[in-house]
Structure 1
Amino acid sequence: MAKKKAPPAEPETPFHTFTVDQVADHYNTNTLEGLTTVEAESRLKAYGPNELQGNGGVKWYKVLWRQIANALVVILLIATILAFATKDFAEGGVILFIIIMNAAIGFWQEYNAEQTMEALRNMSSPTSKVIRDETRVTIPNSQAVPGDIMIFEDGDVIGADCRLFEVFNLETDEALLTGESLPAQKNLDLIEATEQPLGDRLNMVFSSTTVVKGRAKGIVTSTGMKTQIGKIATTLLEVDGNETTPLQKRLNKMAYFVFLAAVILVIIVFAVHKFQYSSETAIYAISVAIAIIPEGLVAVVTLTMAFGVRRMAEVKAIVRRLSSLESLGAVTNICSDKTGTLTQSKMVAVRMWLPSDGYYRITGTGFIPEGDIYRQGEMMPNSIDIQEEQVPTGSGTDHFLRTLEAASLCNMAELRRTQHPDENGDWTAIGDPTEIALQVLAYKAGLAKPDLLDQGFRLVAEFPFDSNVKRMSVIYQGPDTAKGPGDHFIFLKGATERVIGCCAFWRDGDVERSLVGEKGTERDTFEEMITDKMNLLAEKGLRVLTLAYRKFEPPPGVDLVHGLVREEIESDMVFLGLVGIYDPPRAESRPAVLECYDAGIRVHMLTGDHPSTAAAIAKEVAIIPPDVPVKGNPLIMAAGQFDSMSDEEVDKLAELPRVVARCSPTTKVKMIAALHRRNLFAAMTGDGVNDSPSLKAANVGIAMGQSGSDVAKQAADIVLTDDNFATIVHAVAEGRRMFANIQKFIQHLMSANVAEIVVLIIGLAFKDRTGNAVFPMSAVEILFLNMVTSSPPAMGLGLEPASASNMHEPPRSAKQGLFSFEVIMDTFIYGLAMGALSFANFCIVVFAINDGELGEFCNREYSDLCEGVFRARATAYACLTFLILAHAINCRSLRESGWAPQNLSTLKHNTTLWLSIIVGVILVFPIIYIPGLNHNVFKHSAISYEWGLVFVALILFILFAELYKLIKRRTMKSLTVPTNSALEMERMRSFMSQKDSFDLIK
């Protein structure tokens, strides 16, 4: 395929020497509006996708090689050579056809599966935030084009080379390109030197480097192979396409065991014949070896894995690592964030409290800046029949206006009108949901950020939100006055306990009162009052933010961008007030949590919110009982309390906390470690760059696809495209379904192999007139049973819908493999039963009906003397075919009856399974009755009254299977979890009543 040509001068254009306007003119773009969707699509065709060449992808020849480079094919090739050497061309041709067909089917299935899984993994590769049609959107990184306006934030992997035009404390890790270990501090200064080293092009950012601090906007100048990283043919982003999962490792071990068993069986066959080589003995030995190897296993596993990945994508969970599919079924604890995962992330400011004014109530929903503000005074926020006073837009007390100024300016969110109305009318928003809520509040008060900027406020410096300090601050210079330049102000917002510590004063109307009293009594009293007000709001499920400010005199000669110390700037602040923001829980969160309890999975909420806010939401979604107190509750902890405990103290806790508030990234890691020390299997959600350690430490790391940073996505095993907790539960259910189905079809395949071995090994006792063993079944019959009769139903079992008890069973042990004691026991018992019934029919036909005449050379060709053997062979073949097909229905459940009417009625939902059973039944008849095909290829004859024996064996097997399952249900431990949501709630209440637990927490 010819490469698409870009303008020849573009790759060498030194954009770092261009002004922002020159770059915008070069690409005919607008820094405020971005490109239109139509123009972006046109440029994508012209410049090609933003991808590096040589990323790999699926190699067809590697997939094909995996189909032919295995022990199965080697054994079949030996059988083919032996058949042709003994001039048994019919059998040799059939075996060769089986080899080709097996390789073709396996190649087709695995190649398509690999392509599907790679496409799905690519969906979770880094994304880019750009402005299209005047709206900020998130696009796959491959769709970024030159001229796009790209937005970068802390934790993002930069998707293309860009010329910066807006920078706030931006630092990027460029070690990949420059080898420099320290982050590069970016600015907008024009660089005149054309041949400037990459590390000195501070007004540019480069593809595949990482934002470690701050935020910025830039114009995309180069994409794909035209980027700096593309020029050195390197990629930071790796796709785990050919990893060997624990499941595959276990299957590989099984293959070695099966191969060893095949060798032993071959030795047994030759030992029975006193190690005297003959073509008859060799073919019999090969037949036995073929019988024990499940030829369709690889194809069935591939199909099941591909189907599992596709099903996960349908429920909005993108699998980045196949091993996570297997791990999900063992998850015992889920540690989830709150905002956007358990809640809707559609925050709206509904309450505000100021020391001098009391409470305010704010109306309106979403980020439509329409609503009213009412002053309530000191009445309780939920009081009825209180006197409210509406605050007109643009008015209010000085304290009120200064507070709303802080909410508006200490804020990076943007509200925009759009020409494409949606559920939010004609408004769109860009930024963090919390900041959007504050910005909407400022709009309602008539203090919108754009209006304040128009009045003359200018951003000087920014200290972005940090999950460790849980606050953000900005420095603004106010409007110029007739006396000279405007004053400088510092605005601060964040978690109450982190902001209070920065405050030395509090605003009381127009007066700023000191918090430094005798022996700190003034501060203690004030902090106690603030805590009461905050708790009152938080207990209503509101997330409480605190606002503060102070005037600032810049020290002479100090660089206001890089020369400031955050700790000094965020000190001696003036407390302004509290804002309560409500983020309603998702409707599906509570049912999903209750489903976890039914499945024996415990849910923990790890959030940055205040303990009261976190507890209120946790009660709404059933993480903790609704009627338990918050104070003194051992199930609810602040991160500071949890982090201060030693590992030994944590391990002594009778129950790990269900809610951890004010959580930091290190708290998440500590929680994962505590779960691991209890031998529990944990899934952890995360979205920020600082969440990467906990995502890596968890057994299953789950990143947020919408709000998550690219670093978090790369560290995760699974990416949720909808950031929804319920999706995690769906993924766990899918992981359980897939693991159970793999057990089902492995049991089915191996039971059939055991049955064939039973028939063939016992058949060694029967010798014909020449002293050679007589085949109860021919090699071609065995191959046909394995490939055509057994494999399609096994594939159907791999596609079985989840059972009704799927999410009512306890998590399997992480150490439990595919071959549990019950699965192994079932495999041998069912296999022995099928083999015994089939061999019994062979014996009845040969000895009871044909007087035991075994003829001679009956393994090689048909003769009148061999008629009895050929009819017996057809009877055994037909019997085993029907038993294998019936056994597929048994394998749908380990314990429950497969033949009960209610279970048979669900078979209609699995088209692959019931069709494979019907086709398997139909194929028996042409194989037995077509002349030439029966005698020369399959080495059997047409049968008549022998069908009575086949149907009797089938009925006996079904009765045996039902009796066996009944005994298991009566004698073995139940598979269903001994708890449910009601019992779990009662267990938590009972735990809280234990005094020792309270004492230990205290």
Structure 2
Amino acid sequence: MDSQEGLNRAAAPATRNEGLTSVAAADALARHGPNRLPEPPLPGPLALFFRQFRSPFIYILVIAAAVSFLLGQMSSGVFIVAVLLLNAVIGTIQEVSATRAAAALRKMVKGTAKVIRDGAPKTVDIEELVPGDLVMLASGDKVPADIRLVHSQSVAADESMLTGESLATTKNAQAMVADDAPLGDRQNQLFAGTIMTHGRARGLVTATALDTELGKIAGRLSAPRTSEPPLMIRIRKFTYKVAAAIFVAIVLLVAMMLMSGGYDAEGMILMAIGLAVSTIPEGLPAALTVALAIGMRRMAAHNVIIRKLIAVEALGSCTFICSDKTGTLTVNELTIRKVVLPDGSRFDVSGEGVSPGGAIDGNGNTDRLRDLAITGVLANESQLDYAGGEWDSSGDIVDVAFLVLAKKLGLSISDINERQRRLDMIPYESENAYSGSLNRDGDTTWLYVKGSPEKMLACCTQMIDASGTPVALDAAAIQAEFESLGRQGYRVLALARRQADSAEALADMTFLGLVAMIDPIRPEAKDAVARCRAGGIEVAMVTGDHPATARAIAAELGLCGPDDPVVTGTDIRAATAQGADAADALIRPARVFARIEPQQKEQIVTSLMRGGHFVGVTGDGVNDAPAMGAANVGIAMGKRGTDVARETADLIITDDNFASIVDGIEQGRIVYNNIRKVIALLIATGFSALLLFFLTALAGFFGPALPMPMIAVQLLWLNLVANGLQDVALAFEPKEGGELDARPRRPSEPIFERHIIEHVLLTGTVMGGLAFAVYWYVLHIGIPEAEARNLVLMQMVLFGNIHALNSRSERRSLLRIPFFANPFLICAVPLAQIIHIAALHLPVISDVLQLQPVTPREWLLLLGVASILFVVEEAHKWTVRRRDRRAAR
């Protein structure tokens, strides 16, 4: 049940403050069901395991394994199956907890609630609440359902997990609110999962379970994720192209062999199938998994925990980050930033949060400043203590901010409270907009009050000038001052005092000054935003906070100018009514969004994704979860984040440090670069084998047909020793430097782009062409066919090892890369060579592969030919660097 209809239906049974009868409650429970979020069916490990095989590349490898077994090539088939199983096991482990978001939401509404049933107070399980129940709430209670207030006394609620608003929201049963008002402006309602921070209330339950605002979020989270990680998009497109290219190439090769003659049908079929299997880069899934796992371990060292392995690279692919404000870009602790005394004195306060670290700079009378701080300490119900090596606070964050200010001035809070004994207290009530305390200091009784500037000005008749003399209050100047501070995004409070015998003597008071508060940005956030922009990544702040506050924070972060427009939820609602194009035109150029509701955050993300961005969403609250689930990558804050945010996210920042995201982006780009290197290595090797066979078939048109340069089993062996260790080892390459200086990849950029195509064509042509030249020459001088194949296979193994070393960088010379920076590759290359040499001498293997030992002289001659590849690749890198320098000009 929702909106005004639900309110009207619920109101009737409880107008006499008797609540529902037990019978009516039971009937309502039967109609509406329990007040709990339904538990989604979580896939078991077996289902997650089989889900890992839903990939076009995996389909190709399954076919390759089947063909290998049909050919009797058991070792190759077993190798491919082992790769598939390893990939699936690792993926399953990473995704065991990937669908727990709704379960985390469900934990937020467990417990009991106090209701009036049959005219008497009663405690019931929260799951038994139904629309129409009359609920009683007090400070500290978690709200069990969506509730329409019928009575309120000084009520305030922390709704940051729904709205992103860092300040507690005041509530008033008498407030008149429009049906379509944003959540943060619905002053006569309380929402499930939020916390009562002040006061007492009674209210009618209007919605339970999935009908609550919290439940609506749970419903959206249970829907299948529509976005796809960037790497998977690129790999999927790449594998389709590779499969198509291999099929066309082999069909063309068979046609050429048929036309040239000299080849029997059975031999061509075996060759075609073996060549197809060997040119499929089956090492890519293993190398891809290793690259991502290495990136995951390196990210953990930068306080980034990966929940889904594929998210390692996804973060590096982001072109746009939508960040929550409260607790992500800011510390989520209200801090006094400015103090203005009535004589015009101004003080700037540094530091953030509950720690008293910081300084107070100004040009005014510090005695007057202390008087103001003492008033803030006494008209206060909060606590600030130092325990366990850190400062801990409890109570209203506004009150805590005054305690911190006193500490920064060097005042002792305990001494102040001991010296001025409290006689009476005026609790804060939203309708009064102030709180106060009556205290006795020696023989004098003082009334200390703090509240809204409008209320304090109405109660004051005088102020203290620069000389310390009481003078008439300059209300117009003070009003202009607090309006100016309000436009800058500050929450402004005023303080006053007078000698009085009663807490009701709220007149003829002395105005002490104004304080301006704000939830300050994290110290590292501004630099992190700048680093993102330097790396070509756009950043937008999306918050449920007030537009003026959002603009002030965004301006301090460098996201916008002080006069730039802020897009609000109301603006988005109006634009959406005009159509998707109008909404996109409003959303895409904006960098600051305020008063945004959870579904609108999701709308912003989908609009940006439609515009071609790879979007990352950061946040820590329930209100961030839908957008995090819809984005290409969701980033949760680990320390302050809710279970919902952490379970929805792809990765978690353990220190809640926005700067850690930038470190994660750098690691993601390193992972992607290594994946590119592995792909270039595998495709170039496969292309060289295809070219070798093409040239052999082509030679048959100009003379006698040449025998196939390798038999099928040799092709499979080549694939194992030329790439089997090197491709995985290449995934361990460390960063080259300058990853964050590069612009992000275009969302439309394929993984097999111009540079890799150049690399594959050049190196593949050199390897395949030189291998054919060696094959033709040794046959021409009369070396037997089997021995010629043996030499060609050795030549291709040498090419593969040199190519693997040169693949360590796409642009840097191999001679300028620290040799042992990747010890895995340095060990893999000689090990692959040793394995092949051992195969030449082991009778069982050499008989199967039809190999024989190579003399040292032949080995050195083949190594000399392979060194040509090194020279060519170094020349190509030099050309690329020169081209990059020209483009940079």
Q: TM-score range by the shorter chain?
A: 0.5 to 0.7
Please report how far the alpha carbon of residue 704 of structure 1 lies from its aligned counterpart in structure 2 after TM superposition: 2.6
Alignment of 1:461-476 (within 5 A): none
Please report how far the alpha carbon of residue 829 of structure 1 lies from its aligned counterpart in structure 2 after TM superposition: 2.4
Q: 1:309 to 1:243 in 2, by over 3 A?
A: farther
- Note if 1:942 corresponds to 2:841: no
User: Structure 1, residues 88-134: CA drift from partner, whole Å, max 9, x if none?
Assistant: xxxx3xx2122223323442354235424657x69x9699xxxxxxx
Contact 1:442 1:448 in 2 (8 A): no
Contact 1:165 1:188 in 2 (8 A): no
Structure 2 residue aligned with 1:98, among 73, 76, 84?
A: 76
Alignment correspondent of 1:158:
107
- Note if 1:758 corresponds to 2:758: no
Structure 2 residue aligned with 1:595, among 531, 538, 548?
A: 531
Alignment correspondent of 1:881:
797
User: Structure 1, residues 26-45: CA drift from partner, whole Å, max 9, x if none?
Assistant: xxxxxxxxxxxxxxxxxxxx
Please report how far the alpha carbon of residue 186 of structure 1 lies from its aligned counterpart in structure 2 after TM superposition: 5.9
Alignment correspondent of 1:70:
59
Structure 2 residue aligned with 1:902, among 809, 816, 821?
A: 816
CA distance in 2, matches of 1:332, 1:436: 39
Alignment correspondent of 1:871:
787
Contact 1:312 1:318 in 2 (8 A): yes
CA distance in 1, matches of 2:274, 2:681: 20
Q: For 2:779, give the aligned amino acid.
A: V
User: Structure 1, residues 889-921: CA drift from partner, whole Å, max 9, x if none?
Assistant: 332333332x2x322x1x422222222112122
Alignment correspondent of 1:746:
679
How many residues align structurally? 739
Structure 1 residue aligned with 2:828, among 913, 916, 920?
A: 916
Please report how far the alpha carbon of residue 813 of structure 1 lies from its aligned counterpart in structure 2 after TM superposition: 0.7
CA distance in 2, matches of 1:685, 1:720: 9
User: Secondary structure of the equivalent of 1:600?
Assistant: coil
Alignment correspondent of 1:303:
290
User: Matched residues, percent identical?
Assistant: 24
User: Secondary structure of the equivalent of 2:44?
Assistant: coil
Alignment of 1:31-42 (within 5 A): none
Contact 1:585 1:617 in 2 (8 A): no
User: Structure 1, residues 519-574: CA drift from partner, whole Å, max 9, x if none?
Assistant: xxx98755323245678xx7xxx965425899xxxxxxxxxxxxxxxxxxxxxx99
Q: For 1:429, give the aligned amino acid.
A: S
Alignment correspondent of 1:438:
402
Q: 1:698 to 1:527 in 2, by over 3 A?
A: farther
Contact 2:323 2:541 in 1 (8 A): yes
CA distance in 2, matches of 1:458, 1:764: 97
Answer with 676-685 or 356-365: which moved more. Answer: 356-365
Contact 1:543 1:609 in 2 (8 A): no
Alignment of 1:411-426 (within 5 A): 414-416=383-385, 418=387, 421-422=388-389, 424=390
Alignment correspondent of 1:247:
231
Contact 1:506 1:576 in 2 (8 A): no
Which runs of 5 or more residues in structure 2 are unaligned? Answer: 1-38, 117-123, 150-161, 163-189, 199-208, 211-217, 440-447, 465-473, 498-508, 576-580
Q: For 1:878, give the aligned amino acid.
A: M
Which runs of 5 or more residues in structure 1 are unaligned? Answer: 1-50, 83-91, 128-140, 142-155, 168-173, 190-196, 203-207, 218-227, 230-234, 375-380, 464-472, 481-488, 494-498, 512-521, 551-572, 625-629, 851-867, 979-1002
Please report how far the alpha carbon of residue 843 of structure 1 lies from its aligned counterpart in structure 2 after TM superposition: 1.4
User: Secondary structure of the equivalent of 1:815?
Assistant: coil
CA distance in 1, matches of 2:791, 2:626: 62
Q: For 1:295, give the aligned amino acid.
A: E
Contact 2:302 2:663 in 1 (8 A): yes
- Note if 1:821 corresponds to 2:809: no
Contact 1:682 1:698 in 2 (8 A): yes
Answer with 584-593 or 739-748: which moved more. Answer: 584-593
Structure 2 residue aligned with 1:529, among 476, 481, 484?
A: 481
Please report how far the alpha carbon of residue 933 of structure 1 lies from its aligned counterpart in structure 2 after TM superposition: 2.6
Alignment correspondent of 1:194:
none
CA distance in 2, matches of 1:524, 1:693: 46
Q: 1:613 to 1:928 in 2, by over 3 A?
A: same
Q: For 2:479, give the aligned amino acid.
A: E
CA distance in 2, matches of 1:446, 1:675: 50
Q: For 1:546, give the aligned amino acid.
A: L
Please report how far the alpha carbon of residue 715 of structure 1 lies from its aligned counterpart in structure 2 after TM superposition: 5.5
Alignment correspondent of 2:70:
81
CA distance in 2, matches of 1:640, 1:316: 33
Alignment of 1:635-646 (within 5 A): 636-637=564-565
Alignment correspondent of 2:165:
none
- Note if 1:847 corresponds to 2:780: yes
Scaled by the length of structure 2, the TM-score of the pair is 0.67
- Note if 1:291 corresponds to 2:278: yes
Please report how far the alpha carbon of residue 720 of structure 1 lies from its aligned counterpart in structure 2 after TM superposition: 2.2
CA distance in 1, matches of 2:709, 2:669: 40
Contact 1:879 1:950 in 2 (8 A): yes
CA distance in 1, matches of 2:430, 2:324: 27
Contact 2:674 2:730 in 1 (8 A): yes
Alignment correspondent of 1:968:
880
CA distance in 2, matches of 1:751, 1:182: 70
User: Secondary structure of the equivalent of 1:505?
Assistant: helix
Please report how far the alpha carbon of residue 159 of structure 1 lies from its aligned counterpart in structure 2 after TM superposition: 4.7
Alignment correspondent of 1:725:
658
Please report how far the alpha carbon of residue 322 of structure 1 lies from its aligned counterpart in structure 2 after TM superposition: 5.8
Answer with 597-606 or 951-960: which moved more. Answer: 597-606
Contact 1:110 1:302 in 2 (8 A): no
CA distance in 1, matches of 2:244, 2:53: 23
User: Secondary structure of the equivalent of 2:458?
Assistant: strand
Structure 1 residue aligned with 2:460, among 480, 484, 507?
A: 507
Please report how far the alpha carbon of residue 705 of structure 1 lies from its aligned counterpart in structure 2 after TM superposition: 2.6
Q: For 2:532, give the aligned amino acid.
A: C
Q: For 2:480, give the aligned amino acid.
A: E
CA distance in 1, matches of 2:572, 2:523: 35
CA distance in 2, matches of 1:245, 1:891: 26
Q: 1:270 to 1:239 in 2, by over 3 A?
A: same
User: Secondary structure of the equivalent of 1:812?
Assistant: coil
Contact 2:65 2:80 in 1 (8 A): no
Contact 2:723 2:800 in 1 (8 A): yes
Please report how far the alpha carbon of residue 646 of structure 1 lies from its aligned counterpart in structure 2 after TM superposition: 9.2
Please report how far the alpha carbon of residue 875 of structure 1 lies from its aligned counterpart in structure 2 after TM superposition: 1.6
CA distance in 2, matches of 1:322, 1:961: 33
CA distance in 2, matches of 1:600, 1:811: 6
- Note if 1:708 corresponds to 2:644: no
Please report how far the alpha carbon of residue 835 of structure 1 lies from its aligned counterpart in structure 2 after TM superposition: 0.9
Please report how far the alpha carbon of residue 755 of structure 1 lies from its aligned counterpart in structure 2 after TM superposition: 0.8
CA distance in 1, matches of 2:146, 2:328: 39
Alignment correspondent of 2:85:
107
Scaled by the length of structure 1, the TM-score of the pair is 0.60
User: Secondary structure of the equivalent of 2:192?
Assistant: strand
Please report how far the alpha carbon of residue 460 of structure 1 lies from its aligned counterpart in structure 2 after TM superposition: 9.0
Please identify which structure carries the higher helix content.
2
Contact 1:329 1:733 in 2 (8 A): yes
Q: 1:579 to 1:71 in 2, by over 3 A?
A: same
Alignment correspondent of 1:193:
none
Q: For 1:99, give the aligned amino acid.
A: G
Alignment of 1:650-729 (within 5 A): 660=592, 682-692=615-625, 695=628, 700-713=633-646, 716-729=649-662
CA distance in 2, matches of 1:649, 1:718: 33
User: Structure 1, residues 720-750: CA drift from partner, whole Å, max 9, x if none?
Assistant: 2222121121122122222222221111111
User: Structure 1, residues 622-652: CA drift from partner, whole Å, max 9, x if none?
Assistant: 768xxxxx7xx55x55667995999799999
User: Structure 1, residues 681-740: CA drift from partner, whole Å, max 9, x if none?
Assistant: 554433444445665676554333333344544565543222212112112212222222
- Note if 1:579 corresponds to 2:528: no
Please report how far the alpha carbon of residue 761 of structure 1 lies from its aligned counterpart in structure 2 after TM superposition: 3.1
Structure 2 residue aligned with 1:214, among 195, 204, 209?
A: 195
User: Secondary structure of the equivalent of 2:514?
Assistant: strand
Contact 2:617 2:631 in 1 (8 A): yes
Contact 1:126 1:159 in 2 (8 A): no
